[in-house]
Chains A and B, each alone.
Chain A
Amino acid sequence: MPGRVVVITSGKGGVGKTTTTANLGAGLALEGYRVCLIDADIGLRNLDVVMGLENRIVYDLVDVVEGRARLRQALIHDKRVENLYLLPAAQTREKDAVNPEQMKELTAALAEEFDFVLVDSPAGIEHGFRNAVAGADEALVVTTPEVAAVRDADRIIGMLEARDLRNPRLIINRIRTDMVRRGDMMDIDDIIEILAIELLGVIPDDEAVIVATNRGEPVVLQSRGRCAEAYRNLVDRFLGKDVPIVALDGHSKLLERLRSWMALGRRPVSG
């Protein structure tokens, strides 16, 4: 049975698509699945640096599509995790170097070899987006709790559904519990109510992600930390396990538990 091709998209740039792709991919590979990540952002490749694999690129996606390299040659193996591979984007080419038909063929070929093929979509709704969704079986939409990001997510959801990618699932990134508590940031429930789609996971805003990205290591590979935990929960939910959205906070967990106990009926944030 071929693997699942999943596009990670958002509309707005800078909300964490690439980081989400890297961590979901690494997390799935940790669980023993064969995973291939595709950077579909041709001309602005980033997934390689987020993964820390930038020095190992020989061939890229466009080389494969144009027949200069075989698929196998272009795939970079992430040595930290068994069965995790990256197909990098071309950096010196334009977005129209690849068309949706070619992307479909490419993802279909990869789905024969891998359990999951994760496609990191570029921002925007133009050519690059159409390429990224071309071969996808399902879609994940990343947003942050900001007006502009949620608005773009809504637009993307509409475009995905128009392309028959029904029921995309939402990942809320960079939520800040302290601001939610003050009433200065939209809560999970607010965003879900507005977008009316299924929630897959919530990732807290945490310096650990920036530190990990500086080092080129997906944060999910760390053994502890609330972000690593949040990503592992995301992976579990993606795999169909029933994991509740748990409270994780910068404050002590005891305080958090006390707070959520006192605020009965309010869903705790993040996790």
Chain B
Amino acid sequence: MFDLRRWGARTGGSKDAAKDRLRLVLMYDRKALSPELLNRIKDEMVGVISKYMEIDEEGVQVDLDQNQDQAMLVANVPVRQVRRGAGGVSR
């Protein structure tokens, strides 16, 4: 059916590109603004992972990476040892 809203209000122009690019760049900028937030995420991740494996807490790195069209949270967690029984379904 003829959609009246489309009349005089085309979509798919360059503004969508502007919005998409802005969203990505801001994700990166905002992250750069608050290293505290990344640290908080890191601490909580360490807490969760430590339940199952022994990790090198000092070596943990959490960062927001950016490729062409996506922002990615990348975590590097050096594992020392997997805890006994960590593979169990229930406790």
Contact = CB atoms under 8 A, between A and B. Distances in A.
Interface string B12-36: 1111101101110110011001000
Contacts of B8: 181, 259, 262-263
A255 to B, nearest CB: 10
Nearest to B14: A184
A240 interface: no
B5 A263 contact: yes
A262 B19 contact: no
Interface in A171-194: 180-187, 190, 194
A150 B19 CA distance: 10
Interface residues of A, number: 23
Contacts of A184: 13-15
Contact of B15 (A158, A185, A262, A266): A185
B22 A182 contact: no
Contact of B12 (A181, A183, A264): A183
A187 B15 contact: yes
Contacts of A181: 8-10
Given A190-B19, A266-B9, A151 B14 contact: no
Nearest to B4: A262
B12 A194 contact: no
A154 interface: yes
A160 to B, nearest CB: 12
A194 B7 CA distance: 26
Interface in B59-76: none
Interface string A137-172: 000000000110011001100100000000000000
B23 A194 contact: yes
A194 B29 CA distance: 13
A254 to B, nearest CB: 14
Given A158-B33, A182-B13, 18 more contacts: A147-B18, A147-B22, A147-B25, A151-B26, A154-B26, A154-B29, A154-B30, A155-B29, A155-B33, A181-B10, A183-B13, A184-B14, A185-B15, A186-B18, A186-B19, A190-B19, A259-B8, A262-B7
Interface of B: 4-5, 7-16, 18-19, 21-23, 25-26, 29-30, 33
